[in-house]
Structure 1
C-alpha cells in the first residue's frame, strides 16, 4: 500500500492552474459542490490522499499545493497570510468556483479562517484541522523553523523523515517511506531551497504577530465551522482549540485521542465520516 494507491478507483487528475502567474499544482476529483483542501507549513497536497476518495464520492475535491509549497510557484517575497488568501481566491476564480467548502490543516486552517472572515461570500462550510494562527509560541515556532531548515538544507533523508514524524502521534503507522520520498523530493527542489526563508517567515515573531487571527476576525466568521484537534498535537495545546471554538460563533470542536497534528491522516476513517456528515448538514 502506498499513498497514491489510496486513490485506486478514483477518477482524479493532477493539474497545473495559472493563478496570477503562479503555476499551481492541484489534485482534482469528483463532482458536485467544491471542497478545497489546504495543507500546513512546508506541506503539500499529498496530506489529503486518505480523504479524497471518500469526499470525491459526493463533492468536487480540489487539494492544492499552496503558494510556494509543493510544486507550486511562489513570489519572491515573504509568504504572508494575505498573500496566501489572494492565491486561494485566485485559484477559485481560475476554476470558476464561486463558493466552496474549505478543509484547512495547520497553516491551511489559518488561511481558510482568514478567508472566511474577510470573504464570507466565498465560503460554504469551514473545517479547521489543527489550525494554526491564533497564538505565537516561540518554542513551537523555533521547532518548526529548525526542523524544516535542517531537512531542506541537508540532503540526509532521515531529517525529512524526522520532520514528518513530528506531525504524528504514531509515526510507524502513518509515515510511509513513500511519503518521506515525496516530501524529500519537494524539499530539495532548487526553487524550494532558495525560497525557504520566504516560506518560514511566519515562524518569525514580528511577521506572525501581525498576521495572527484576532478574536475580532474569528468573530466575523459566519460559515458553519468544525474544528478538529489532536489530543497530542505537538504544535498546539488543547486550550488553544477551546479558545478558537469560543471565538468562532456556533463552531463545533472535536478532539481526537491518540492523535498528533494530522488528524485527517492518522484517523482518516473517523475524520472522513465526521467531516462528510458536517458538510452534508442542511
Structure 2
C-alpha cells in the first residue's frame, strides 16, 4: 500500500485514495464514509472508473457505509493488463484476483458488493469463488450472468466497440455512446459528454481498450458465469432498467431462477445506468437491502 494517500473532494465529499500493489500491478482505490463495507464496481465503458461512475451516489451512501471504489484493472489509475495477460486469463479473472488481493491488503475480510455491467461480472465471480466473504450482493445489469434472447452483440455493446475504432474517439461518438446507455439522453448535456470524452483519452487506456476488445472476440464474449449462479449464497438484489440496450432485461430470467436468495427491481423508462437515471431510488433500495445485513 502506498504511503502517499491524498484527500480529494468530489461534490463536497472527502475521498481518500490509496494505491495497492498486487502481484499483477497497482490497483487504485478511493474510499469514503463509515460503517459496513460496501464495495462498488464500475462498468466497462470508455473512460469509466470507480469514482466517475458513482460520485453522484456517494453523499447518500457514505452516511451508512464505508464505501470502497476500486478502479478495475485497465481503468482509471489502475494497471493495464497486457495482451499476454488477457490471453492467459479473462478480464474478469484478472479483476477478481487483483481485487481480492486489494481487499486483503486493506484488511477487508467481509463486505457488501455492488457491480454494474463489467463490474457486475466481477461481482458475480467474486461471490461464486469466495462466497463466505460477501454478505450482500447488488447486481445492476451484470455481464456474464445473463443469457439474452435477442442478437448479440447488443446495440450498447456495439457502441462500446466502435468508440475507439474507426478514427478514434470523438465527442460525437461519446454522445452516441451515452445515448445507448440511458433512456433519456437529454438529461446528460454537452458538459457531461465532454467530461466523459476527456476522461477517455488516456493513451494507455486506449491501448488497453483495443486489447480488451480483441480478447472479448477471442473468448466469444464474457465468461459464462451463468453456469455457476447456484454457487452464490449472498442475498442478492437485481436492479435493471427495462429499456437497457446493453445488457438487456430479457436475459435476467436465468439469474432469477438460479440464485438462491434473490429479488429484483425493474425501472421503467430507464437504461443501463440505473445509478444515474434513478439515483435517489437506487440509493434508497441499496440502503434498505444492505443496511440490516452483516
Task: Give your verdict on TM over 0.5.
Answer: yes
Q: Match of 1:40?
A: 43
Q: 2:69 aligned with 1:63, yes or no?
A: yes
Say whether the 8 Å CA contact 1:55–1:61 is kept in structure 2: yes
Using a 3 Å threshold, how does the CA distance of structure 1 residues 35 and 201 change in structure 2: closer, same or farther? Answer: farther
Q: 2:209 aligned with 1:196, yes or no?
A: yes
Q: Structure 1 regions of 5+ residues with no counterpart?
A: none
Poorly superposed stretches of 4+, deviation over 3 Å: 176-179
Say whether the 8 Å CA contact 1:6–1:53 is kept in structure 2: no
Per-residue CA deviations over 1:190-241 (Å, capped at 9, x if unaligned) read 11122123322464263426x21133x1011000100000010001332312
Give the Å deviation of 1:83.
0.9
* Alignment length (residue pairs): 274
Give the Å deviation of 1:23.
2.7
Task: Output the TM-score relative to the length of structure 1.
Answer: 0.88
Q: How does 1:91-110 map to 2 (within 5 A)?
A: 91-110=102-121
Per-residue CA deviations over 1:142-199 (Å, capped at 9, x if unaligned) read 6145333248x524222122222221111121x3544433432332211112212332
Q: Distance in 1 between matches of 2:203 and 2:41?
A: 23
Give the Å deviation of 1:139.
2.9
Q: Match of 2:127?
A: 116
Per-residue CA deviations over 1:68-103 (Å, capped at 9, x if unaligned) read 012221221325221111111122112111111111
Say whether the 8 Å CA contact 1:104–1:131 is kept in structure 2: yes
Q: Distance in 1 between matches of 2:142 and 2:284?
A: 20
Q: Match of 1:221?
A: 232
Q: Match of 2:161?
A: 146
SS in structure 1 of the partner of residue 38 of structure 2 = strand
Q: Match of 2:55?
A: 49
Give the Å deviation of 1:6.
6.5
Q: 2:33 aligned with 1:18, yes or no?
A: no
Q: Distance in 1 between matches of 2:21 and 2:163?
A: 27
Q: Give the CA RMSD over aligned residues.
A: 2.3
